[in-house]
Amino acid sequence: MSNLTWSTTYYSGIRVPWVPTREELLDIVMRLANINSDDVFYDLGCGDGRVVIKAVKEGAKKGVCVELNSTLIEKAKEGAKAANVLDKIVFINDDFFNVELKDATVVYMYLLTSVNKALKPKLEAELANGTRVITLDFEIPGWKPIQIVEVSLPMRTARLYLYIKGISDK
Ligand SMILES: C[S@@+](CC[C@H](N)C(=O)[O-])C[C@H]1O[C@@H](n2cnc3c(N)ncnc32)[C@H](O)[C@@H]1O
């Protein structure tokens, strides 16, 4: 088993494991995000970068891959290089609480409800109205989803939530 198959990041006592978004969900995430050539796509806790790589391949102007785990961020860079999109992605090896989000037009988060809750004030303060926020499996407590997509996977049902800043947070 590779040492990249399971990793755990701790911050403020909250445990967030690396569990990659399954490949079969990526097209659905892109459809929900409605990616266009003006988009700046952030993945907060980007893991091996697969979602942000897909977003720029789908036409986003820029991707931002924020990841605390330095091994994973190197893996994300390798993936972006292999996909010929290295120049379109900014890689930030830091805690996402330290990263300014104000140029984001799409934010993706596959974290935990507790972490989404902790991030909510930052999203409300920094995101422009109209920014699409997509979460996998875990809601943003108190925000109203615009759309929920359920996808049957072999062992479970995945749930994708689409929020729009300025509507969902009212
Ligand atoms: C469930 S994984 C999702 C990975 C990727 N977004 C995907 O969907 O394939 C969560 C990721 O968030 C990272 N992470 C957790 N807390 C973080 C933090 N405070 N700042 C940056 N990255 C963090 C973890 O290291 C892990 O790679």
Local confidence pLDDT in tens for the 170 residues of the chain: 344 445 555 555 456 889 999 999 999 999 999 999 999 999 999 999 999 999 999 999 999 999 999 999 999 999 999 999 999 999 999 999 999 999 999 999 999 999 999 999 999 999 999 999 999 999 999 999 999 999 999 999 999 999 999 999 99
CATH number for the domain harbouring residue 28: 3.40.50.150
Q: Note the pLDDT of residue 17.
A: 87
Q: Give the number of the atom of ligand 1 that is nearest the alpha carbon of residue 115.
A: 16
Amino acid at 25: L
Q: Is 3 among the domain residues?
A: no
Q: Is 170 among the domain residues?
A: no
Mutate to test the pocket of ligand 1, among 10, 28, 46 (most ligand atoms within 8 A of CB): 46
Q: Is 110 among the domain residues?
A: yes
**Cβ neighbours of residue 147 under 8 Å, at least 6 residues apart?**
32, 161, 162
Closest residue to atom 13 of ligand 1, CA basis: 45
129 lies in which domain range?
8-16+23-164
* Helical packing angle, 50-57 and 23-33, nearest 10°: 50
Contact yes or no for 109/135 (Cβ under 8 A): yes
Q: Note the pLDDT of residue 14.
A: 53
Q: Note the pLDDT of residue 125.
A: 98
Number of domains in the chain: 1
Q: Which two tokens stand for residue 126?
A: 């920094």
